Amino acid sequence: MSTAVSPLAPKSQPKMPAIEGVRIATAEAGIKYKNRTDLLVMAFDEGTQVAGVFTRSKCPSAPVDFCRQNLPDGKARMLVVNSGNANAFTGKKGRETTDMTAQAAAKASGCRPGDVFLASTGVIGEPLDAGRFSHLIADMTRRAEPGLWKEAGQAIMTTDTYPKYATATVRLGDADVTINGIAKGAGMVAPDMATMLSFIATDAPIAAGVLQDMLSKGVGKSFNSVTVDSDTSTSDTLLLFATGAAGRRGAPEISEPNDARLAQFRRALNRILKNLALQVVRDGEGARKQVEVTVTGAKSARSAKRIALAIANSPLVKTAVAGEDANWGRVVMAVGKAGEPADRDLLSIWFGDNRLAHNGERDPDYSEAATSAYMKRDEIVIRADIGIGRGKATVWTCDLTKEYVAINGDYRS
């Protein structure tokens, strides 16, 4: 874990309130890291509903398989997360570890293994010995308490330079309900259905099917619109838990996705998803700048997003941003290679408010001095108008610095 905190880290962290029906504990299991917590347990009251989205990687980790198997029931009592080892590409041993961990968690909370959810993050291909930490789960469950969200965010970090938190309180019917979220991610982040790891909990009484509908829709413009390095993790897991405790304070039970009373809650959830996703980008390994890429005028929204990701994932675009070089020719290159409909002679490109290219050639009013000054900012906006349709999309990434190479060249040592 890097000692220097990203210059793009939040200036302050939100105060994370307790969520009724959720208790938290962390521990130092020494899985990879010394002198820091690397194990998280969240215990949920009976009746807690759950939804989740996971990586689309064809090499998913054992915990992802385990969560997928349990998700259809929509019920959760325990979440166990470890950092330092992804338990991915670990074959039969990996399945034995998830089974052993789930058994220990189920025993600790008096539930079925089917009510347990697991996530692991860290090195791929190293067997994870459940014997290193499963014996800690019973004690952690006993001493778990509601207010430890700060500790939870710290325990799931790997190469992150800061923990990631978001919270919101909104009205549901006649009651206030709270939503808390934590996330981890810094590298190997090009999510397909989630980030590396993110866990969100609320006390709202919302049925699993409704949670799933909101989560599946919400990731499109948040976690599935960020990329650090184009590499989709084997372990991407995003879980949303609803304890229903606010029902005792008069919050209505929501069982239909189109219930009008959900509007405020859905907006708040989407804000939290986007907030956490951007914190992941701003902690991209070695990142010094956040980059927003918007594509307009594409043939369709899907086409716009593919072009935007081609720009955001281009090492040449990202290194130009790192070097504060207004090399807009690299954006032309990325649009051209995206494999999507485009017309060279209709393309326009902006860096901030500076239009650099228009109608397929350099803008006659282009100012190198103004654009170079703009590139010194720590938040850069790139826009490409394809000029052939009405499709648009926005994605977020970070620059690519020497530190990224240093961190990832040295990750296993």
- Annotated catalytic residues are 195
Query: Which of 28-35's residues contact partners 24+ apart within 8 Å by CB, and which partners?
Result: 29/82, 29/132, 29/133, 29/136, 30/132, 31/82, 31/83, 31/84, 31/85, 31/122, 31/128, 31/132, 31/133, 32/83, 32/84, 32/85, 32/122, 32/123, 33/1, 33/83, 33/84
**Residue at 303: amino acid letter:** S
Q: Kindly calculate the radius of gyration of the chain based on its CA atoms and give it in whole angstroms.
A: 22
Q: What are phi and psi of 224, to 5 degrees?
A: -90, 10
Query: Which of 28-31's residues contact partners 24+ apart within 8 Å by CB, and which partners?
Result: 29/82, 29/132, 29/133, 29/136, 30/132, 31/82, 31/83, 31/84, 31/85, 31/122, 31/128, 31/132, 31/133
Q: Which residue has the tokens 């990750």?
A: 411
Q: Which residues on neighbouring strands pair with residue 116, listed in sequence order?
A: 78
Q: How far apart are CA 178 and CA 204, in angstroms?
A: 7
Q: How far apart are CA 108 and CA 79, in angstroms?
A: 12
Which are the contacts of 238, defined by CB distance < 8 A and separation ≥ 6? 52, 53, 54, 193, 194, 195, 197, 198, 199, 200, 215, 219, 223
- Between strands 116-123 and 78-85, the pairing is parallel
**Residue at 399: amino acid letter:** D
Which are the contacts of 323, defined by CB distance < 8 A and separation ≥ 6? none
